[in-house]
Amino acid sequence: MSTSPAPRIAVIGAGPGGLTCARVLQRHGIDVTVYDRDASADARNQGGTLDLHADSGQIALQEAGLLDDFHALARPEGQAKRILTRHGEVLVDYRPGTHEDAAPEVDRGQLRTLLADSLTPGTIQWGRTLTSAAANPDGTHRLTFDTGITADVDLVIGADGAWSRVRPLVSDAMPVYTGVTFVEAHFDNVDTAHPAVAELVGDGHVFATGDHKGLIAQRNSDQHVRAYIAITDDVDWYRAAGIDLDDTTAVRATLLRAFAGWDEQLLTLITDNDGPYVNRPLFVIPAPHTWPHTPGVTLLGDAAHLMSPFGGNGANFAMLDGCELALAIARHDTLDEAVTAYERTMLPRAAEAGDGAAALARNFGPGDRDPASIPDFAEAGEQYKRGAAAYRNR
Ligand SMILES: Cc1cc2nc3c(=O)[nH]c(=O)nc-3n(C[C@H](O)[C@H](O)[C@H](O)COP(=O)(O)OP(=O)(O)OC[C@H]3O[C@@H](n4cnc5c(N)ncnc54)[C@H](O)[C@@H]3O)c2cc1C
């Protein structure tokens, strides 16, 4: 891409996808501005742990020049997975090898800091919420932020997640509730303060599902455990239950009624948490989500293909999208050729992966989980590595 005159490129959203895109652009000498509504990189809790796959997230980090830094932060032991029945019977206890690098875990907050700190100072304009984006008659786009500030750009990249304000420029699609809500619970200083939870979760994850519900927990860094208490119910289930989400005692009592008869140690994920619960209804954009190519605008990550967390592809794909879009911009003569080439690869990949709604239905169906439905985790790791080799040899 000719950088004279420098194209004005705006990325909306400093999540894993937007930051990866900006980093790879800068590594190729291309100017970019990132806008995010957060006041700073650590303005809010960034969420749990992410496993970055060898064939997607790690490829993006390599192009970003950050793969070694990632491995220095990441927890290979976090790939451990225990699958239990709701009665506490262990179906699978997978422990990865000490140097297994198929999909090491990293806290989202650590990943965001790694990516944000790698950018030229001043690249990210924090505290800027995009309120609207509109096409100008000359083919550029005008971005308007909540502060009243506007910017005219040659390319706007919507990396602003599930409820993207950029998406309406290309598509009418909106997120749809999956019928599954995760109620999040937190455990600090878990090894000493919550030994039963620490034992249950081990180094990685524990999953117990059955009877349309699930208890899932993951070890984050710094002795923190995050649990997802999964229920299949209406999006406003708490209203029907007549409770206030801020009333921790009432939420706990309601959840305990729903999980009556479950194993006592599993129930510590509902009874022993620190602080309030956080309600997280899961949404997807029904796949395939495509749009007519629109000069001057494109989407990546959740803005383009919001998936359920089952499959673990969301952040991985967002980063690969960001990386590939940046490389396309570096390698093509015009922004429009670059975006066309990027969308030609990204849209079919996302369509093939699907929205993950069926996986949710499988995991939170009636009765006990069918052991035959449990993935072979060692083989999944080998697949990521084979996928990485195939990607590099394309
Ligand atoms: C419970 C749960 C568990 C998950 N676990 C995994 C996992 O293990 N592995 C995995 O790969 N994925 C996982 N995901 C999915 C993953 O979190 C997302 O796919 C990923 O964060 C998408 O990255 P993104 O950069 O596209 O968007 P986001 O991470 O959503 O980032 C969007 C950014 O845009 C900013 N923004 C939003 N609106 C505006 C606006 N109007 N103006 C300015 N800025 C704005 C936000 O502040 C945010 O920083 C999980 C999701 C959930 C809900």
Find the 124 Cα to ligand 1 centroid distance in Å.
17
The predicted structure's pLDDT at residue 155: 98
Nearest CA to ligand 1 atom 29: 15
- pLDDT 10s digits, 265-299: 999 999 999 999 999 999 999 999 999 999 999 99
> Which domains, ranges and CATH numbers included, belong to the chain?
9-76+103-174+286-392 (3.50.50.60), 179-281 (3.30.9.30)
Spatial distance between the Cα atoms of 175 and 285, rounded to a whole number of angstroms: 5
The answer, yes or no, to whether any atom of ligand 1 lies below 6 A from the CB of 318, is yes
Sign for the pseudo-dihedral over CA of 301, 203, 228, 207: positive
Tens of pLDDT, residues 99-148? 999 999 999 999 999 999 999 999 999 999 999 999 999 999 999 999 99
Q: By percentage, how much of the chain surpasses pLDDT 70?
A: 99
Q: Tell me what pLDDT residue 186 has.
A: 97
Residue 1 has pLDDT above 80, yes or no: no
- Spatial CA neighbour of 225 closest among 193, 265, 263, 180: 193
Phi, psi of 339 (to 5 degrees): -65, -40
Q: Is the CB–ligand 1 distance for residue 217 below 6 Å?
A: no
37 lines ligand 1 (CB under 6 A): yes
Task: Report the atom number in ligand 1 closest to the C-alpha of 163.
Answer: 38
Ligand 1: does its nearest atom lie under 6 Å from the Cβ of 12? yes
Which ligand 1 atom is the nearest neighbour of the CA of 14? 49
Atom of ligand 1 nearest to the CA of 314: 19
Q: Whose CA is nearest to atom 8 of ligand 1?
A: 50
Cis omega (within 30 of 0) for bond into 366: no
In this structure, what are the phi and psi dihedrals at residue 280, rounded to the nearest 5 degrees?
A: -130, 85
Is residue 313 within 6 Å of ligand 1 at its C-beta? yes
**DSSP collapsed to 3 states, the chain:** CCCCCCCCEEEECCCHHHHHHHHHHHHCCCCCEEEECCCCCCCCCCCCEEECCCCCHHHHHHHCCCHHHHHHHCEHHHHCEEEECCCCCEEEEECCCCCCCCCCEEEHHHHHHHHHHCCCCCCEEECCCEEEEEECCCCCEEEEECCCCEEEECEEEECCCCCCCCHHHCCCCCCEEEEEEEEEEEECCHHHHCHHHHHHHCCCEEEEEECCEEEEEEECCCCCEEEEEEEECCCCHHHHCCCCCCCHHHHHHHHHHHCCCCCHHHHHHHHCCEEEEEEEEEEECCCCCCCCCCCCEEECHHHCCCCCCCCCCHHHHHHHHHHHHHHHHHHCCCHHHHHHHHHHHHHHHHHHHCCCHHHHHHHCCCCECCHHHCCCHHHHHHHHHHHHHHHHCC
**Confidence band, pLDDT 50/70/90 cuts, at residue 370:** confident
Q: Would the pLDDT of 362 be above 70?
A: yes
The rounded distance, in Å, linking the Cα atoms of 226 and 207 is: 12
Query: What pLDDT band is residue 213 in, cutting at 50, 70 and 90?
Result: very high
User: Would the CB of 17 count as within 6 Å of ligand 1?
Assistant: yes
333 marked ligand binding residue: no
pLDDT of residue 3: 59
Q: How far apart are CA 282 and CA 92, in angstroms?
A: 26
Main-chain phi, psi angles of 297, to 5 degrees: -155, 140
The tens digit of pLDDT for each residue in 27-70 reads 999 999 999 999 999 887 778 999 999 999 999 999 999 999 99
Taking a C-beta distance cutoff of 8 angstroms, is the pair 220, 107 a contact? Answer: yes
pLDDT (0 to 100) of residue 169? 98
For residue 284, how many other CB atoms are within 10 A of its CB? 21
Tokens matching residue 255 = 């959840």
Residues with Cβ within 8 Å of residue 358, at least 6 apart in sequence: none
* Residue 108, marked binder: yes
- Which of the four pLDDT bands, split at 50, 70 and 90, describes residue 361? confident
Q: What is the pLDDT of residues 221-263, one digit of tens each?
A: 999 999 999 999 999 999 999 999 999 999 999 999 999 999 9
CB of 105 closer than 6 angstroms to any ligand 1 atom: no
Distance 315 CA to ligand 1 centre (A): 7
363 CA to middle of ligand 1, Å?
Answer: 22
Q: Report whether 1 contacts 7 (CB < 8 A).
A: yes
130: Cβ below 6 Å to ligand 1?
Answer: yes
pLDDT at 2 over 70: no
84 DSSP β-pair partners: 90, 208
Q: From the CA of 145, give the closest atom in ligand 1.
A: 42
Neighbours of 193 (CB within 10 A): 13
Identify the pLDDT of residue 91.
95
Sheet of 150-153, strand order? 130-135, 141-145, 150-153
Burial of 333 (0-12, 13-18, 19+ CB in 10 A): exposed
Q: CB-based contacts of 379: which residues, under 8 Å, 6+ apart?
A: none
Give the number of the atom of ligand 1 that is nearest the alpha carbon of residue 57. 11
In angstroms, the CA 383 to CA 45 distance is 32
Please tell me the distance between residue 261's alpha carbon and the centre of ligand 1 in angstroms. 35
Check if the beta carbon of residue 304 is closer than 8 Å to that of residue 235.
no
- pLDDT over 90 at 358, yes or no: no
Give the per-residue pLDDT at 43: 87
What confidence tier does 310 reach under pLDDT thresholds 50, 70, 90?
confident
Cα 39 to ligand 1 centre (Å) = 16
Is the confidence at residue 352, as pLDDT, over 70? yes
Mean pLDDT in the chain? 96
222 is in an annotated binding site: no
Peptide bond into 288 cis (omega under 30): yes
